[in-house]
């Protein structure tokens, strides 16, 4: 009879696992950053690592970042010939603490909730709701989940949600577009009745049907629709705007006699260097061993950061240079001349991995003769083998719609017919997808 007595055993297993070194992870992280985000990151590193300092003569360098002001002129340790001391460091940290960031939607709502007289359970649920809203201010997830997290009854969560929906901005805490609009309008107003009972007809501009259903004139419906159009369907979008939305070009594209070239934007990012005073401390016998160990770690960290920033610059310039050379037609003739260009092609030509090309192109912008453009926009998959790029096709669709007769706008089928006559085979569904990606309404909604 087999024994069923439980027992513990140790069994060895041989596995292969790829693990990136910390300095490699940091380099990849920095490579993918936008320039504004990199500036903020370097400022944080300068504040935390006394072995790092801004190289002299690099104006404006890290200046000009949001929140920076003249009182930071002595921020670097030892700058201006002064020796480091505790009082100086305390003042510097205090100044850094005064740098503020934009108020998030959650913070904005929590500040208002503190002014409301709510029972303890409803207050806890309301705070949880404020932290569960998406970037547009909509509630994500069921109320039962919030009740479970806060260990309160569902009725308390419902009352908490009603309290949140009274806060600024109006419409916040809604679970769908209809509820968002109704919070702003009120259900009993003419516009509120339209949103509550005829939202699908409103989207299709069936004003006569709405007027008949409500027993009012078409003019009254149109007046209510004008009020609805002034509402904000995404009440949370104006809060906590990512810093990467502040576009600063990494590169400058300029024309020579024969071609276009790329250079780094020297005015936007200062060079970093190691503080010579801290290097000297490592050779002094009077410096305690623990202090030297701390300084060695900071010096090593600083050198890795300097190398990562240098590598980022080289890689971005290399990838951008290849893309600009390949897409010279775009700078001459515009978006319609964009060729199909895959990340794999750049990787093969430059001898680097495809993911490195993607990271180098992500969140990077270039100042060009055609304005500021995203580096990634120069890469596009072909619509078909040896066919035009998807970007070129989208550009053509945009141009066709821009030149259409507004009284008889082009349908997706008509767009497909025109593109096919120009040698661009395209399915109607694909044309609709490209039109939606361009944020262009369908033909029946563009008609005036």
Q: What is the biggest distance separating any 2 CA atoms in the chain, rounded to whole angstroms?
A: 94
- Domains defined for the chain, CATH in brackets: 105-229 (no CATH), 247-378 (no CATH), 390-446 (1.10.10.60)
CA-to-CA distance for 46 and 34, rounded, in angstroms?
18
The partner residues of 374 in beta bridges, in order of sequence, read: 365
The set of residues, in sequence order, having a beta carbon less than 8 Å from that of 96 and lying 6+ positions away, is 47, 75
Tokens 């980022």, residue? 312
Q: Which residues pair with 254 in a beta bridge?
A: 261
Choice among 173-177, 262-266, 411-415 with the minimum mean pLDDT: 262-266
Placement of tokens 């400022």 in the chain: 43
Q: Which residue has the higher pLDDT, 360 or 425?
A: 360
Residue 24's pLDDT is 83
- How crowded is residue 402: how many other Cβ atoms within 10 Å of its Cβ? 8
pLDDT of 317 over the 90 cut: yes
Place of tokens 């180098």: 360
What integer pLDDT is reported at residue 241 of this predicted model? Answer: 52
User: 74-78, 88-92, 248-252, 435-439: which range is least confident on average?
Assistant: 74-78
Number of H helices, E strands in the chain: 21, 6
Quick one: which of 96, 47, 99, 97 has its CA closest to 76? 47
pLDDT digits (tens, 9 = 90+) for 138-170: 998 788 888 888 889 999 999 999 999 999 888
Name the DSSP letter for residue 65.
-
Q: Please write down the HEC assignment for all residues of 381-410.
A: CECCCCCCEHHHHHHHHHHHHHCCCCCCCC
State residue 324's pLDDT score.
Answer: 93
| pLDDT-derived band at 174, boundaries 50, 70, 90 | very high
Average pLDDT value over all residues in the chain: 81
Average pLDDT, stretch 415-441? 84
Q: pTM of the entire structure?
A: 0.52
Can you tell me which residue has the tokens 């500040």? Answer: 111
Check residue 61 and give its pLDDT: 41
Place of tokens 């563009």: 446
Backbone angle region of 342, left / alpha / beta, with phi > 0 → left and psi within -120 to 50 → alpha? beta
CA gap 128, 142 in Å, rounded: 12
Q: What does the pLDDT read at residue 386?
A: 54
Q: Give the tens place of pLDDT for each residue, 296-309.
A: 898 999 999 999 99
- Non-local CB neighbours of 103 within 8 Å, separated by 6+ positions: 239, 240
Helices (H), 186-327: 190-197, 199-203, 207-214, 218-229, 276-281, 289-326
pLDDT digit string, tens, across residues 223-243: 988 888 888 888 988 875 554
- Sequence-distant (6+) residues with CB within 8 A of 182 are 192, 195, 196
Q: Model confidence over 24-75: pLDDT tens digits?
A: 888 888 998 888 888 888 988 888 888 888 876 543 444 433 333 332 333 3
Tell me what pLDDT residue 429 has.
84
Please report how many Cα atoms fall inside a 13 Å half-sphere around the Cα of residue 427, on the Cβ side: 5
Q: At what angle do helices 120-130 and 105-113 cross, to 10 degrees?
A: 160
Query: Exposed e or buried b for every residue in 215-225, given b needs 16+ CB within 10 A?
Result: ebeeeebeebb
Burial of 39 (0-12, 13-18, 19+ CB in 10 A): buried
User: Can you tell me the distance from the alpha carbon of 223 to that of 206, in angstroms, rounded to the nearest whole number?
Assistant: 14
d(CA 92, CA 73): 10
Pair 234, 136: CB distance under 8 Å? yes
Q: What's 82's DSSP letter?
A: P
Chain-centroid distance, C-alpha 337 = 28
């Amino acid at each position: 009879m087999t024994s069923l007595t439980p027992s513990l055993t140790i069994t060895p297993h041989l596995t292969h696992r790829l693990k990136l070194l910390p300095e490699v992870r940091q380099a990849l992280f920095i490579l993918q950053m936008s320039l504004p985000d990199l500036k903020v990151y370097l400022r944080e590193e300068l504040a935390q690592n006394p072995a790092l300092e801004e190289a002299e003569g690099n104006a404006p360098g890290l200046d000009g970042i949001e929140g920076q002001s003249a009182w930071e002129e002595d921020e670097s340790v030892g700058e201006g010939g002064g020796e480091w001391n505790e009082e100086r460091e305390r003042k510097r940290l205090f100044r850094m603490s005064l740098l503020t960031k934009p108020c998030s939607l959650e913070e904005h709502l929590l500040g208002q909730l503190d002014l409301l007289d709510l029972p303890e359970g409803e207050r806890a649920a309301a705070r949880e709701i404020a932290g569960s809203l998406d970037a547009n201010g909509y509630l994500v997830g069921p109320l039962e989940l919030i009740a479970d997290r806060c260990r309160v009854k569902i009725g308390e969560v419902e009352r908490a949600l009603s309290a949140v929906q009274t806060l600024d901005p109006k419409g916040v805490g809604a679970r769908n577009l209809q509820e968002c609009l109704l919070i702003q309008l009120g259900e009993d107003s003419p516009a509120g009745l339209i949103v509550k009972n005829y939202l699908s007809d409103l989207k299709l501009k069936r004003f006569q049907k709405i007027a008949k259903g409500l027993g009012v004139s078409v003019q009254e419906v149109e007046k209510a629709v004008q009020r609805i159009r002034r509402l904000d369907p995404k009440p949370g979008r104006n809060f906590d705007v990512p810093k990467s939305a502040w576009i600063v070009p990494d590169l400058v594209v300029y024309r020579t006699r024969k071609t276009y070239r790329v250079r780094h934007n020297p005015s936007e990012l200062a060079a970093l260097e190691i503080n010579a005073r801290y290097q000297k401390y490592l050779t002094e016998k009077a410096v305690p061993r623990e202090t030297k160990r701390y300084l060695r770690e900071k010096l090593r960290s600083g050198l890795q950061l300097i190398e990562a920033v240098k590598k980022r610059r080289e890689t971005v310039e290399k990838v951008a240079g290849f893309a600009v050379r390949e897409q010279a037609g775009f700078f001459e003739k515009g978006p319609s001349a964009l060729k199909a260009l895959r990340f794999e092609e750049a990787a093969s030509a430059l001898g680097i991995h495809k993911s490195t090309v993607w990271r180098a192109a992500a969140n990077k912008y270039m100042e060009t003769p055609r304005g500021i453009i995203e580096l990634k926009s120069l890469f596009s998959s072909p619509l078909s083998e040896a066919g035009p790029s998807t970007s070129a096709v989208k550009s053509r669709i945009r141009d066709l719609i821009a030149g259409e007769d507004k009284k008889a706008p082009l349908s997706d089928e008509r767009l497909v017919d025109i593109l096919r006559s120009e040698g661009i085979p395209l399915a109607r569904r694909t044309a609709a997808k490209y039109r939606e990606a361009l944020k262009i309404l369908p033909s029946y909604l563009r008609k005036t």
